[in-house]
């Protein structure tokens, strides 16, 4: 998958994309990430990308020209499956939605700033708006990182043990069951006996039971009833 990120802060991505699963996915060519500094497309002599809103009460808006030119240029080079915009009023990102997006080959993510972008960009250039939660961030970069991180780890080959992405929370409509590692007794607290029993079938049943219990407690809407 190729991801083109349009941002006024390309440096913000260096840290999050320079480690762990994303770094390995980039190094092995599973995902290709290109950040584009929006200012490079500004025709303004001071490279401005924001301006006062019409009839606005404070706060700037991102101007349409640099965004449109940047997206036009990218689109002239290849076809895109989706042009995303990070927006608090967009579709809430969840696991089933992420699972749908892994079929994409090329995507653009536009990161908003200030009070957001001129509505005409949203109308004519953006094909999908997404939000990472019902709260307001200062910019779209962290939301873009969330989308890319969530997508990368489910692309086949990104995680060594393929099973491990599938056994994460939400993948089967439930949250994950409790998990334990060594030592068997820590500060007097023991690992549940069943996990040490070697009884594969019983262990699977226990995990399912625990996952169901936890889902009902923490995400009651998720299991239908
Ligand atoms: N005036 C806007 C908020 C602007 S916040 C409004 O009331 O909706 C600045 C930018 O941060 C937004 O344009 C968006 O790109 C990004 N952003 C803020 N909160 C976000 C969220 N929950 N999910 C995704 N992007 C968000």
- Cβ-based neighbours of 168, under 8 Å, separated by 6 or more: 176
- Domain termination site, one of 118, 152, 186: 152
Residues 184 and 123 in one domain: no
Q: Are 35 and 10 in contact (CB under 8 A)?
A: yes
- Domain termination site, one of 93, 121, 152: 152
Q: Are 39 and 31 in contact (CB under 8 A)?
A: no
Q: How many domains does the chain have?
A: 2
Find the CATH number of the domain harbouring 205. 1.10.1270.20
Find the CATH number of the domain harbouring 117. 3.40.1280.10
Token pair of 80, please?
A: 């895109």
Question: Global pTM?
Answer: 0.96
Q: Which atom of ligand 1 is nearest to the CA of 134?
A: 22
Please give the distance, rounded to the nearest whole angstrom, from the Cα atom of residue 125 to the centre of ligand 1: 17
Residue nearest atom 23 in ligand 1 by C-alpha distance: 131
Pocket test for ligand 1, best of 8, 59, 85, 112 (most atoms within 8 A of CB): 112
The pLDDT value given to residue 162: 64
Q: Shortest CA distance to 20 belongs to which of 153, 147, 109?
A: 153
- Asked whether residue 163 is assigned to any structural domain, the reply reads no
Residues 183 and 135 in one domain: no
- Asked whether residue 157 is assigned to any structural domain, the reply reads no
Please give the distance, rounded to the nearest whole angstrom, from the Cα atom of residue 140 to the centre of ligand 1: 6
Q: Which atom of ligand 1 is nearest to the CA of 112?
A: 15
Helix, strand, or coil (residue 159): coil
Look-up of token digits 């393929």? 162
From first to last of its 225 residues, the chain has per-residue pLDDT tens of: 999 999 999 999 999 999 999 999 999 999 999 999 999 999 999 999 999 999 988 899 999 999 999 999 999 999 999 999 999 999 999 999 999 999 999 999 999 999 999 999 999 999 999 999 999 999 999 999 999 999 999 999 998 776 688 888 998 899 999 999 999 999 999 999 999 999 999 999 999 999 999 999 999 999 865
Residues 200 and 96 in one domain: no
What residues pair up with 110 in beta bridges, in sequence order?
Answer: 6, 85
Could you list the residue range(s) of the whole structural domain that residue 180 is in?
169-223
Q: How far apart are the first and last CA of the chain?
A: 37
Residues 136 and 173 in one domain: no
Q: Where would I find the beta strands (DSSP E) of the chain?
A: 2-7, 32-37, 50-51, 61-62, 82-92, 106-110, 128-131, 185-186, 189-190
């Amino acid at each position: 998958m190729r991801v083109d990120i349009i941002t006024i802060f390309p440096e913000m991505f260096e840290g999050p994309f320079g480690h762990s699963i994303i770094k390995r996915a980039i190094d092995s060519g599973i995902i290709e990430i290109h950040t584009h500094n929006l200012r490079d497309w500004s025709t303004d002599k001071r490279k401005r990308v924001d301006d006062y809103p019409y009839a606005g009460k404070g706060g700037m808006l991102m101007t349409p020209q640099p965004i449109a030119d940047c997206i036009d240029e990218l689109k002239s080079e290849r076809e895109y499956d989706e042009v995303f915009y990070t927006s608090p009023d967009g579709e809430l990102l969840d696991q089933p939605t992420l699972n749908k997006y892994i079929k994409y080959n090329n995507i653009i993510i536009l990161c908003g700033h200030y009070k957001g972008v001129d509505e005409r960009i949203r109308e004519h250039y953006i094909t999908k708006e997404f939000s990472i939660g019902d709260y307001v961030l200062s910019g779209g970069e962290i939301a873009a990182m969330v989308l890319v991180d969530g997508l990368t780890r489910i692309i086949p080959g990104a995680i060594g043990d393929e099973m491990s992405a599938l056994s994460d929370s939400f993948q089967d409509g439930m949250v994950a069951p409790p998990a334990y590692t060594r030592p068997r007794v820590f500060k007097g607290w023991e690992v549940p006996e069943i996990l040490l029993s070697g009884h594969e079938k019983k262990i699977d049943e226990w995990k399912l039971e625990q996952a169901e219990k936890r889902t009902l407690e923490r995400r009651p809407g998720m299991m239908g009833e």
